[in-house]
Structure 1
Amino acid sequence: MDYRDTVFLAVAENLSFSKAAEELFISQPAVTKHIKELENKYKVDLFERKGNRILLTEAGKLAYSKLLAIRQAYRELEFELGSMGDVFKGELRIGASSTISQYIIPDVIAGFHKRYPQIELYMINGNSFEMEQKLLEKEIDIALVENPSSQANINYLTFFSDAIIAVAGANSRFNKRQSYTLSDIAEWPLVLREKGSGTLDHINRILKGKGIDTEHLNATIHLGSTEAIKGFVKNSDNVALLSDKAVKKELQQKDLIKLSIKNLEMNRDLRLAFRQGHVSDAGQLFTDFLLHYNI
């Protein structure tokens, strides 16, 4: 691909000249120059400004769609040529939900890189809904998500299971009882993840199945990261519902305690997500590695 095409894709995916410059390690004027050269070449505007934002024009949307396919073809060509010499080369872009990216997948990524050092890995994180959107928009090759719902045009494959558990600070008032009931949950001052979080989606589904109206939970605050929630709960009289993998260290160090709830289990499947009809060679290689990895 021409380097100007690479710059265009970076701007189109970030909808920002400055973020594209940071991603490509070049100056913002250089980004502007490359885009202007492309527009002069094709004699069309590829972006339009709306206030402080930039958007793709119709011509820009067409160029983005075609160049995405070309970039993918280059990646697969590089991979297939490398595999002929038993040297796997290429590029793999992975999107992972916050819990998976922080507490579950890092060891897998390290092991995959050690086994296939010639494959360039890029990983971004956000909530599960955001990762599915990036997958559908072809910004990533694979998504690792924790939400139980499914979207059209995406195929899902379970790769691991964890459990959502209730935790509180070791010095909180919740350390005074051996166990709690389902009715207690409605009274707890809860710290929850933000809307779009796979963890929150799973909690809502399980509690509704138990007859608990999640719209009327006593959610005192919603925070955008598990680390923020853990820090908040450790120093307050609140309860959090989090992945057991995310609080493993804090439970061992006795900074947090697990609250036992009678007749409630919140086990869930963590899933690989692919666009229907397409899995890149590097993506398939990563999938096989992940499914055989002892997490």
Structure 2
Amino acid sequence: MKLSFDLRALRYFLAVAEHGGFTRAAHELHVAQSAVSQTVASLESRLELRLFHRHERRISLTPEGELLLGHARELLGQAESIELAMREVHGLVKGEVRIGIPSMLGSYYFPPLLMGFKSRHPGIRLTVVEAGTRRLQRMIADGELDLGVVTDDVSTQGLERRHFLREEMVVCVPRDHRFAKRESVTAREVLGEPLVLFQDGYFHREFVDRLAVETGQQPQVAFQSNLIPLTKAIVRQGFGITTFLRRVVEEPDLAAVSFEPAAWLDLSFAWKHGAYLSRAEQTFVDFVLEHHASL
């Protein structure tokens, strides 16, 4: 008798044997119980053997099932090793991704993406550097980073990029501020207030500097800090206002107010022009592009 083994059928058989029933096995496999039952029944039919004793409230392996159990574990272990080896060939298991991220994205956007990617590819080492957009560009050009996040409105000469995110820049004020109940405010109104700003080189600061150029009005800088929690604390206490990506201003005692007209920030992955992205790096970019819409 010539047999061919279906790895899926062996996985279902193994799950039933290890979990002591079809219902528990289906739950662990995230499939319908009927699919598990039918697959195991089909396996028994092909083998012309009974693998389980079906009791009223439980099941147990037959001697033939006990024999198959050891072989199934061995075959599935070999299949997993083969899959692992093939993934390693493509650089999906081993390797390193070095990426530079601005602080606002690093704190409020990328954590679930980084954890999700690490869960899917545990063997890939992720090195994350927080810095301003300008410094990230220099680090990419100097080969210190493979990938970085840059804004689309800055010069990216010598870089290739892929757009992945569009976010609204808003005014962040305390709830008792006169702007808090308004739907929008103008750039001139914002620049007339004491401001808490990032230092030069960050897109947050460049955004405000650009507003100053467009309006011909100098910003009133009350504080400079690259620390988001400190900036929020200063705003919360009424010592100044600031601008953030909208998702950063999601706290009960802070209000996010749109600019008039609305201000949008486009962000892209960037890497050195002509540089080869490793499979691990390309996989990371693809992962973020695939998942960003759901966050």
> Which range is displaced more, 230-239 or 169-178?
169-178
Partner Cα distance (2:126, 2:281) in 1: 11
2:170 aligned residue: 165
- Residue aligned with 1:236, SS: coil
CA contact (8 A) 1:148 1:198 kept: no
1:49-60 → structure 2 map (5 Å cutoff): none
Distance 1:223 1:86, change over 3 A: closer
Among residues 108, 117, 132, which one is paired with 2:113 in the alignment?
Answer: 108
Whether 2:240 is the aligned partner of 1:243: answer: no
Deviation string 1:103-157 (CA, Å, 9 cap, x unpaired) is 1111111111111111111111111111111111211211123462023211121
CA contact (8 A) 2:179 2:185 kept: no
The structure whose Rg is larger is 2
Query: What is the total number of aligned residue pairs between the two structures?
Result: 209
Partner Cα distance (1:169, 1:121) in 2: 36
- Residue aligned with 1:230, SS: helix
Among residues 247, 253, 266, which one is paired with 2:263 in the alignment?
Answer: 266
- Residue aligned with 1:149, SS: coil
1:133-144 → structure 2 map (5 Å cutoff): 133-144=138-149
1:22-171 → structure 2 map (5 Å cutoff): 82-84=87-89, 88-146=93-151, 148-171=153-176
Partner Cα distance (1:260, 1:289) in 2: 30
Partner Cα distance (1:113, 1:237) in 2: 40
Q: Supply the RMSD in Å over aligned alpha carbons.
A: 2.5
1:212 aligned residue: 215
2:15 aligned residue: none
Cα shift at 1:173: 4.9
Question: Unaligned 5+ residue runs, structure 2?
Answer: 1-83
Question: Unaligned 5+ residue runs, structure 1?
Answer: 1-78
Cα shift at 1:258: 2.5
Partner Cα distance (1:107, 1:178) in 2: 30
TM normalised by structure 2 equals: 0.64
1:189 aligned residue: 194
Q: Match for 1:222: what amino acid? A: Q
1:229 aligned residue: 231
Distance 1:283 1:234, change over 3 A: same
Partner Cα distance (2:283, 2:245) in 1: 27
Distance 1:86 1:199, change over 3 A: closer
Q: Match for 2:229: what amino acid? A: E
Q: Match for 1:118: what amino acid? A: G
- Residue aligned with 1:265, SS: strand
CA contact (8 A) 1:226 1:246 kept: no
Distance 1:175 1:281, change over 3 A: closer
